Amino acid sequence: MSEYTVAVVGVGAVGEEMLRVLAQRNFPAREIRVFARSARTISLDGRSYEVRATTPEGFEGVDVALFAGTEGEKGAAVTFAAEAVRRGAVVIDNGADFRMEPNVPLVVPEVNPEALDKHEGIISNPNCSTIQMVAALKPLHDAGKLKRVIVSTYQAVSGTGRSAIKELEAQAKAWAQGEPLPAPAAYKYPIAFNLIPQIGGFRPDGYTSEEWKMIAETHKILGDDRIAISATTIRVPVFNSHSESVTVETERPIGRAQALELLRAAPGIVVVDDPAVADAGGPAYPLPIEASGKDETYVGRVREDPFVPNTLHFWVVADNLRKGAATNAVQIAETLIARGLLRK
């Protein structure tokens, strides 16, 4: 098997998860270079990684560069992606900077791997909430053609980063000890035992940037901007794994039984849908705590709308740091290899 030189840029929550996923999936890497703003040594799962300061020259000889990205601000890829590509690397960027560029593929390997064939050096990872939704939408779209999608997300604090995880921990501990909650910093309001129906900044039309990402990215990935999509994104006091309540209307009817069959056959999807065991405490539906640390997208609570024809409701859960970011990026690199698109 050919071996590749891999760069991971960023050692926050997503960057660390990229290193973990590369090791767990036995990615054929002869060398892994780790870059960040400053040099240091980090320890992860019993392994030490030397972190170098990111420079253009550091990408010499790199075959694939995974940029961890930072939501809500310009990521390192804005500065260094072109330099990496100039030196022969394929860039897979988890940030939002290039996603809607017409010449940059936006890829979920289980959904639109063929988009990789036209890459020009930079490939974008979709938003974490988009990835898990389109993975579930794809088989339904192929079978029934989507007309309308309504989604409400319940997004974990790990999507914001380590500071938000620590903030939820500190607020929960303070509440348990009967102390005042520490002042919020990662968010505008306390997140412990609370819901915040705003992720990203507000647009003039009342949607947030996170909500509009889901709309625009889904159109691009599925290659159909005629699908009517509405999103409401909510931050919830869950440490990891995003959950989504999704309603779809299709042109051709798809019943519950057929939908379950389609979803079970779809790559990367695990169906957890057994109402009969719900009262017994069995695995009746996906839970974020169960999805955390896993690479699959979990779907359940599939049901037909009793009032609106050709309409289904379902529940989608996935680990946002893994399938929503790191794993999807590594899977893109694996797909590039499988399609003969990564230099040997």
Residues 331 and 280 in one domain: no
Residues 122 and 134 in one domain: no
Residues labelled catalytic: 128, 242
Residues 146 and 243 in one domain: yes
Share of the chain above pLDDT 90, in %: 94
Nearest to residue 222, comparing CAs of 114, 94, 313, 104?
Answer: 114
- Interval 194-218 mean pLDDT: 98
Number of domains the chain contains: 2
Distance CA 175, CA 280 (A): 31
Residues 170 and 66 in one domain: no
Where are the extended beta strands (E) located within the chain? 4-9, 29-36, 40-44, 47-53, 64-67, 90-93, 122-124, 146-155, 228-235, 242-250, 269-271, 297-304, 311-318
Residues 115 and 213 in one domain: no
Determine how β-strand 311-318 pairs with β-strand 297-304. antiparallel
What's the pLDDT at 74? 65
Residues 209 and 81 in one domain: no
Residues 146 and 19 in one domain: no
Q: By mean pLDDT, which of 244-248, 263-267, 279-283, 323-327 is the weakest?
A: 279-283
pLDDT surpasses 60 at 165:
yes
Between residues 71 and 74, the one the model is more confident about: 74
Q: Kindly state whether residue 141 falls inside one of the protein's structural domains.
A: yes
**Chain segment 234-254, per-residue pLDDT in tens:** 999 999 999 999 999 999 999
Check if the beta carbon of residue 53 is closer than 8 Å to that of residue 38. Answer: yes
What's the pLDDT at 283? 78
Residues 240 and 291 in one domain: yes
Q: Kindly state whether residue 67 falls inside one of the protein's structural domains.
A: yes
Q: What is the residue range of 252's domain?
A: 130-320
- Interval 79-92 mean pLDDT: 97
Q: How confident is the prediction for the chain on average, in pLDDT?
A: 96
What's the pLDDT at 72? 46
Residues 136 and 233 in one domain: yes
pLDDT surpasses 90 at 75:
no
**Chain segment 107-129, per-residue pLDDT in tens:** 999 999 999 999 999 999 999 99
What's the pLDDT at 326? 98
What's the pLDDT at 36? 96
Distance CA 91, CA 248 (A): 34
**Helices (H), ranges, the chain:** 13-24, 76-86, 128-144, 162-176, 209-222, 256-265, 288-291, 327-338
pLDDT surpasses 60 at 279:
yes
pLDDT surpasses 50 at 59:
yes
pLDDT surpasses 90 at 280:
no
